[in-house]
Homo-oligomer: A and B are copies of this chain.
Amino acid sequence: MARINDNYLKLKAGYLFPEIGRRVREFTDANPSAKVIRLGIGDVTLPLVPAVIKAFHAAVDDLAKGETFHGYGPEQGYSWLIDTIIDKAYKPLGVSLKTSEMFISDGSKCDCSNILDIFDNANVVAIGDPVYPVYNDTNVMVGRTGEADEKGYYENIVYLPCTAENDFSPAFPKEKVDIIYLCSPNNPTGTVTTREQLKGWVDFARKNDAIIFFDAAYEAFITESDIPRSIYEIDGAKECAIEFRSFSKTAGFTGVRCGLTVVPENLLATTAKGEKVALNKLWNRRQSTKFNGVSYPVQKAAQAVYSDEGWPQVKEVIDYYMDNARIIREGLTAAGIQCFGGVNAPYIWLKTPEGMSSWDFFDKLLTECHVVGTPGSGFGPSGEGYFRLSAFGDKGNVVKAVDRIKQKWGK
């Protein structure tokens, strides 16, 4: 009989968000009049901005006429979109990229999963803890790990704990690692990697022949001018890093689907025999063979994000969310709850009051304040005792949620 990929059975069955959904349903079924405010899952709520809608419609109209119809596009993405992103989002950072170094995709989740295709399973990977679960689970699925221990740590993955004790900035791994996942601004902690810290990682990677997967999905939320938005702002990063970006949070594209990956041409890795190979060529082959490009109207809509008309509109939405983040951060701090993040990221990572476990706090917050958040322990063992609130909600609801928390925990 055909054999399955047994590695899938190593994955733990229960995923975080279904469990949250179950508990919320149970509560609302029992308390139908409760006005529950959801600050849990990291999904945007505001509509697409007018300039994006306009470009989207125009592109749909292109598909309605023979002269402007577009069939298969380049698997790598249209050069007009790539060049716009390079020009508007990278050049201002002092980063120059070639068109052939950027690949448009249908989202960062796909890219940071699929990138593993071009690497051998013998590579040792290091990931943060807590972490975006996709980094961990996709490595389990390709067979790079052993089984999970009782804490949830998989054999052969090097975990880098990020807690208040180390200011969410982990020490360099002591083991030899080949691939390092970094995410800044960080999901779930909302904290950022400073320029000096990032330089430390680039230097470490180059010295130790490792490759960094840099997830910059939240770079648009950075408000402090000295925080790097791209790893390529650091000298030498083009020789050691792949960068992922997304339109999902930047421009509300969670339901529209567009992201991108940068694989610099000078980035090399080796064959079993030790010959050096350009990863750009391998990723290009992967995408050409297993992917057919992003929807044409979606690419046109994405281009409009960076237009003269579009960007100020997009920025206004980002500012709205970041004002929510401020309200949450300041409100919780006033209630005596210790908060992290929320300055350069749409997530607030809080230390649960009274030493509660993440899930105990979840239940208390749900049943007593009617507010839904995300238990930190769902992102990894080092998230225990922490809790994530998202700033993507409606401002009125955010204010109400914070008031309820203050009433409950405020001194």
Contact = CB atoms under 8 A, between A and B. Distances in A.
A270 B4 contact: yes
A222 B134 CA distance: 41
Interface in A289-321: 289-298
A199 interface: no
B60 A46 contact: no
Interface stretch (A94-102, A117-125, A155-163, A342-350): A117-125
What 4 pairs between A and B have smallest CB-CB spacing? A3-B120, A113-B290, A1-B209, A43-B71
Interface residues of A, number: 80
Interface in A250-308: 252, 254-257, 268-272, 276-277, 279, 282, 285-286, 288-298
Interface stretch (A61-69, A323-331, A397-405): A61-69
Chain B CB within 10 Å, residue with most, of A64, A210, A271: A64
A396 interface: no
Nearest to A114: B290
Interface stretch (A6-14, A82-90, A230-238, A360-368): A6-14
A410 interface: no
A47 B66 contact: yes
Contact of A270 (B3, B41, B107, B118): B3
B295 A109 contact: no
A37 interface: no
Contacts of A109: 290-292
8 contacts: A2-B119, A3-B123, A45-B69, A69-B252, A72-B255, A73-B255, A134-B290, A297-B297
A198 interface: no
Interface of A: 1-6, 8-9, 11, 15, 41, 43-48, 50, 53, 56-57, 60-61, 63-66, 69-73, 106-107, 109-110, 113-114, 117-120, 122-123, 134, 137-138, 141, 178-179, 209-211, 252, 254-257, 268-272, 276-277, 279, 282, 285-286, 288-298
Contacts of A8: 118, 282, 285-286
Given A45-B66, A290-B138, A4 B297 contact: no
Contacts of A179: 2
Given A3-B178, A3-B270, A113-B289, 19 more contacts: A1-B269, A2-B179, A2-B211, A3-B269, A4-B119, A4-B271, A4-B277, A4-B279, A8-B118, A9-B271, A44-B71, A45-B66, A69-B255, A106-B295, A110-B291, A113-B290, A256-B295, A295-B295, A297-B297
A106 B298 CA distance: 12
Contacts of A117: 5, 141
